[in-house]
Amino acid sequence: MKKVEKDTTKANYELFARKTEENILSTFNTSKSGLSDGQVVMSRNQHGTNKIAYGKKTPFIIEVLKSYITPFTLVLISLGIISFITEYVIAPPEDKDLFGVIIIFTMVFISGTMTLIQSVRSNQAAEKLKSLVKVTAAVKRNNSYAEIPMEEIVCGDIVKLSAGDMIPADMRLIATKDLFISQSALTGESYPVEKRAEGKVSYHDTETSYENLVFMGSNVISGSAEGAVVAIGNQTLFGNVAKELSSKPIKTNFEIGIRKTSYLLIKFMALMAPTVIVINGLTKGDWMEAFLFGLSVAVGLTPEMLPMIVTTNLVKGATAMAKKGTVIKNLNSIQNFGAIDVLCTDKTGTLTQDKIILEYHLDCEGEQDDRVLRHAFLNSYHQTGLKNLLDVAIIAAAKDELDTDSMKYQKVDEIPFDFERRRMSVVVENAAGKTQMITKGAIEEMLHISSYVDFKGQVTPLTKEVKQEVLAKVKELNEDGLRVIGVAQKTNPGVVGEFSVADETEMVLIGYLAFLDPPKETTKQALEALKSHGVGIKVLTGDNALVTQSVCKQVGLGAEKLVSGDQVANMKDDELKRVIEKRNIFVKLNPQQKGRITKLLRENGHTVGFLGDGINDAPAMKLADVGISVDTAVDIAKESADVILLEKDLMILERGIISGRETFGNIMKYIKATASSNFGNMFSVLVASTFLPFLPMLPLQILFLNLIYDISCVSIPWDRMDKEYLEKPKKWNANSIGNFMIWLGPTSSVFDITTYLLMYFIICPAMAGGAYHTLSAEQQVLFIAVFHAGWFVESLWSQTLVLHALRTPKIPFLQSRASFIVTAITSLGIAVGSVLPFTEFGHSLGLAVLPSDYWIWLVVTIIAYLLLVTVVKQVYTRRYQELL
């Protein structure tokens, strides 16, 4: 027995297609009687089983560890452990405090849990593929048919197919009758395709275009067939898709951005915290206190609430998008959704309605003619075979445009469709006893059986010149992406009850029908809206060039040069990278080519979204930054997607992209404002530590200050973004966060230092009774408590109010105002922090009551600070072309 390679390649399929029926049966040691039990065992041993391998499943414990152990959480865990040891384990009983530890580990828990949930959900994609193909098939073994589970099929089995069957393996047809196969899930083709045992084979054909091969994952629309199984399981085209889905997911823009941001914060922390420890240890002499203070500085530099703020933003964004018809399966994809600058989309059902309609019913001069539609309706309505999509479209159009109830005809006979004739006929009789044979079919066949033509109002002989005119009109319609069939009729044909193919002669060609999968009404408008928001469109389809070009013209994508799958296959990556930047329409692509183009677009620096609904789209969806599908898609496409549209409408997608940008903008508000203000505060701490004879703020005070500020920041997801911000795609750029920190952070330090001077030389001496070095130990405690309270309140005011300045490049409060929720909660946070020094809890934190003249100085300081921030912000925006 000859051995067949287990890796499916184009060459193998071409070989299977070109072999004769006898050679195919011989190759797999089978016959038309099917395999014997012994042969089944031998085939299974040689070729394996008909199961899709989905890659090695990651153990759950590994998923847990990967979710909770990241660079960002490792820093927090380390700080939490150190804090637990120093503030609880080795601390004196009266000083034991778990407040800071609880804050840190709560954030780690929230971040890890959300990551784990998303990981588990995304890993279910390959599992869903199994349920998609749990079917049985009629298999011939030992010269008799039996229904067996698809998994038990082996290479060499003879399988019987009939209407409605899902094809259980890749097969070479050995007998067919009127077989139509839907390959749309594999190829994206709009129409069912004809398959026959003695089919055509071209060297340049793609695998799915071989007429004598059918493939796992497609299904039978009509007719019947027998075929020999030539590939199973992972060897099939379907199996290749599954293997790609089980590969390791790509790192998206969002994940890369989070990682780089974490590393950036770690670098700042690694520099600042040890510096603070050394300076305070040398100047104050208490190294343990210096260490604890350095630890609080490290926590202060780390936005502890980042996981919660990001998650809250994402959940809020997902909720808002769900109301607009967009379901977010993977929360992390929201940022990528807003960052998309190239949208790759299939054609069928995305740009088009995914519904064949009768666009024109024309006479032989190319003019609309109801008579042609009436005859076509009688043919489609009265046939007894399975009505295909064209018949359904004819009947629907006739019921809309004609009074079909008044057509009192009875069917006399019919001649069914077959692939040799590529036409079908019915004979009908009206109430007066007049009979007509009406035939419809491929235009070449209709011209072949017609001797006359109804041309310019008269029935005349069908001359060569008239044929050329008809073919020219048909070609014109084909170039517009329309599928054309001819309609002919003959009055009082033959003898009733004895009709046959021989009667399909001497007919009168009366016209033709043109069908289209039309564009959605909203497509053109949606594409213009996407373009205005900086999103380029690339059409990646398995359908043919004429149909695709026609649809693209109608939706405003232009009549540019198309690139075919054959051309893509012959290009190296470097060449294809250049081509995909210049061209936007790609046709006759297989799933791997769609994935390759998507991958190369990402390598070119684009954030790529892929919108698809078929098995053939799944690999590209997985390779995109954002995989987008619809709720009517096949299961595997939905499970591979990050985002699911509740309607297959690009307008919904455009609204979703805007929501994604709004969500991303709010995330960046928090990260940039918090990182810069924390950096400014810690820079101020560095300066103060050098010159003050005491710590500028206690570790617990720093943690509590961060807590009040971060709780205020929970309102940010409910903020609005400036309209101008939403016009262009936004990418996560960790470098921009570093630049933002360096430019905007020190602006707060200027006024922190003025506050130090004010508190140390004016307010604190007035409250404590003199300069610090002249006071008693008890008076120094009061001096320090007033100083801590003054800087605590000033830090909170400046850090919170600067959110309003940094949330927009415009003038805050005047040209752009935060939402009511943000304004209310930040105001509440400021109020709580301002009242704290006057409460018992504040006293327990080491804060003292502030004098009335402090508040006048505070207002002046904050106004001056916001003015400086506004000026620096304008300079920064001019230099870097963006704020957030």
**Helix count and strand count (H, E) for the chain:** 32, 23
Asked if residue 188 has pLDDT above 90, the reply is: no
Asked if 411 and 491 sit in the same domain, the reply is yes
The answer for residues whose C-beta is within 8 angstroms of residue 610's C-beta and 6 or more apart is: 343, 344, 345, 540, 594, 598, 617, 620, 621, 623, 624, 626, 627, 628
CB 686 within 8 A of CB 810: no
Question: What is the distance between the alpha carbons of residues 555 and 516, in angstroms, rounded to a whole number?
Answer: 14
pLDDT band at 53, cuts 50/70/90?
A: low
Token reading at 552: 């693209």
Domain membership flag for residue 652: no
pLDDT band at 245, cuts 50/70/90?
A: low
Three-state SS for 789?
Answer: helix
Domain membership flag for residue 275: yes
Asked if residue 691 has pLDDT above 70, the reply is: yes
CB 13 within 8 A of CB 56: no
At 400-425, the pLDDT tens digits run 888 888 888 888 888 877 656 778 88
Summarize the confidence of residues 116-135 as an average pLDDT. Answer: 48
Asked if residue 51 has pLDDT above 50, the reply is: yes
CB 749 within 8 A of CB 683: yes
Token reading at 47: 């070729």
Domain membership flag for residue 29: yes
User: Across the chain, what does the average pLDDT equal?
Assistant: 79
Question: What is the distance between the alpha carbons of residues 82 and 92, in angstroms, rounded to a whole number?
Answer: 16
pLDDT for position 130:
40
More confidently predicted of 739 and 488: 488
Q: Could you tell me the CA-to-CA distances from 672 to 119, 265, 316, 339 in Å, in that order?
A: 27, 11, 20, 18
Summarize the confidence of residues 861-873 as an average pLDDT. Answer: 91
CB 540 within 8 A of CB 609: no
204 C-beta neighbours (distance < 10 Å), count:
9
User: Residue 633 is part of a domain; what is its CATH number?
Assistant: 3.40.50.1000
At 68-120, the pLDDT tens digits run 776 556 766 776 787 787 777 877 777 677 766 776 677 677 667 765 664 56
SS (H, E, C) 690-717: HHCCCCCCCHHHHHHHHHHHHHHHCCHH
pLDDT for position 834:
92
Do strands 585-587 and 536-540 pair parallel, antiparallel, or not at all (unpaired)?
A: parallel
pLDDT for position 765:
92
Asked if residue 809 has pLDDT above 90, the reply is: no
Summarize the confidence of residues 804-829 as an average pLDDT. Answer: 88
Which amino acid is located at 108 in the chain? V
Q: Which helix (H) or strand (E) holds 328?
A: strand 326-328
pLDDT for position 132:
39
Asked if 799 and 741 sit in the same domain, the reply is yes
Token reading at 726: 């939403």
Q: Could you tell me the CA-to-CA distances from 45 to 26, 142, 152 in Å, in that order?
A: 18, 19, 12
pLDDT for position 858:
93
pLDDT for position 127:
47
Asked if 480 and 447 sit in the same domain, the reply is yes
Of 516, 536, 562, which residue sits at a domain end? 516
Residue 205 annotated among the catalytic residues of the structure: no
More confidently predicted of 305 and 590: 590
Question: What is the distance between the alpha carbons of residues 799 and 705, in angstroms, rounded to a whole number?
Answer: 10
pLDDT for position 5:
38
pLDDT for position 129:
35
pLDDT for position 624:
86
More confidently predicted of 17 and 292: 17
pTM score over 0.75:
no
Summarize the confidence of residues 623-649 as an average pLDDT. Answer: 71
Highest average pLDDT, of 351-355, 640-644, 803-807, comes from 803-807
Q: Could you tell me the CA-to-CA distances from 361 to 374, 405, 407 in Å, in that order?
A: 10, 20, 18
Question: What is the distance between the alpha carbons of residues 387 and 391, in angstroms, rounded to a whole number?
Answer: 6
Structural domain including 417 reads: 357-516
pLDDT for position 158:
92
User: Residue 228 is part of a domain; what is its CATH number?
Assistant: 2.70.150.10
Asked if 368 and 441 sit in the same domain, the reply is yes
| 580-608 as b/e: b if 16+ CB within 10 A | beeebbbbbbbbbbbbbbbbbbbeeebbb
Q: What is the DSSP string of 655-694?
A: HHHHHHHHHHHHHHHHHHHHHHHHHHHHHHHHHHHHH-SS
Beta bridge partners of 158: 140, 228
pLDDT for position 187:
67
The answer for residues whose C-beta is within 8 angstroms of residue 88's C-beta and 6 or more apart is: 96, 97, 98, 101
Summarize the confidence of residues 563-573 as an average pLDDT. Answer: 87
Question: What is the distance between the alpha carbons of residues 300 and 291, in angstroms, rounded to a whole number?
Answer: 14
Summarize the confidence of residues 862-869 as an average pLDDT. Answer: 91
CB 701 within 8 A of CB 788: yes
Radius of gyration of the chain (CA): 37
Catalytic residue (choose from 165, 170, 205, 346): 346
Q: How many domains does the chain have?
A: 4
Asked if residue 1 has pLDDT above 50, the reply is: no
Asked if 259 and 228 sit in the same domain, the reply is no
Question: What is the distance between the alpha carbons of residues 790 and 858, in angstroms, rounded to a whole number?
Answer: 9
pLDDT for position 681:
75
More confidently predicted of 260 and 844: 844
Asked if residue 787 has pLDDT above 60, the reply is: yes
Domain membership flag for residue 115: no
At 819-848, the pLDDT tens digits run 899 899 999 999 999 999 999 888 888 899
Asked if 501 and 574 sit in the same domain, the reply is no
Asked if 863 and 736 sit in the same domain, the reply is yes
Among 361-370, 582-591, 688-697, the range scoring the smallest mean pLDDT is 688-697
pLDDT band at 203, cuts 50/70/90?
A: low
Beta bridge partners of 507: 450
Token reading at 516: 């289209």
More confidently predicted of 750 and 106: 750
At 11-23, the pLDDT tens digits run 478 788 888 888 8
pLDDT for position 827:
92
Among 225-229, 740-744, 820-824, the range scoring the smallest mean pLDDT is 740-744
Asked if residue 789 has pLDDT above 90, the reply is: yes
Asked if 273 and 348 sit in the same domain, the reply is no
pLDDT for position 684:
81
Token reading at 768: 């404590």
Using a pLDDT cut of 70, give the percent of the chain over it. Answer: 81
Domain membership flag for residue 108: no
pLDDT for position 125:
39
Summarize the confidence of residues 864-874 as an average pLDDT. Answer: 90
| 470-498 as b/e: b if 16+ CB within 10 A | beebbeebbebbbbbbbbbbbeebeeeee
pLDDT for position 629:
79
Q: Which helix (H) or strand (E) holds 176?
A: strand 170-182
CB 222 within 8 A of CB 385: yes
pLDDT band at 204, cuts 50/70/90?
A: low
Listed residue (690, 680, 704, 673) closest to 788, CA to CA: 704
| 386-414 as b/e: b if 16+ CB within 10 A | eebbbbebbbebbeeeeeeeeeebeebbb
151 C-beta neighbours (distance < 10 Å), count:
17
Asked if 738 and 815 sit in the same domain, the reply is yes
CB 619 within 8 A of CB 241: yes
pLDDT for position 8:
41
Of 456, 490, 516, which residue sits at a domain end? 516
Domain membership flag for residue 798: yes
Beta bridge partners of 594: none
Asked if 302 and 445 sit in the same domain, the reply is no
Domain membership flag for residue 57: no
Say how many Å lie between the first and final Cα of the chain, rounded.
Answer: 67
The answer for residues whose C-beta is within 8 angstroms of residue 457's C-beta and 6 or more apart is: none
Token reading at 317: 């964004």
Asked if 666 and 807 sit in the same domain, the reply is yes
CB 241 within 8 A of CB 207: no
User: Residue 408 is part of a domain; what is its CATH number?
Assistant: 3.40.1110.10
At 353-391, the pLDDT tens digits run 767 888 889 888 888 888 899 999 998 888 876 567 788
Question: What is the distance between the alpha carbons of residues 603 and 600, in angstroms, rounded to a whole number?
Answer: 5
pLDDT band at 776, cuts 50/70/90?
A: confident
Of 243, 272, 301, which residue sits at a domain end? 243
Asked if 526 and 512 sit in the same domain, the reply is no
Domain membership flag for residue 76: no
Summarize the confidence of residues 269-292 as an average pLDDT. Answer: 75
Summarize the confidence of residues 668-686 as an average pLDDT. Answer: 79
pLDDT band at 645, cuts 50/70/90?
A: confident
At 473-505, the pLDDT tens digits run 888 887 777 888 899 998 877 665 567 788 888
The answer for residues whose C-beta is within 8 angstroms of residue 282's C-beta and 6 or more apart is: none
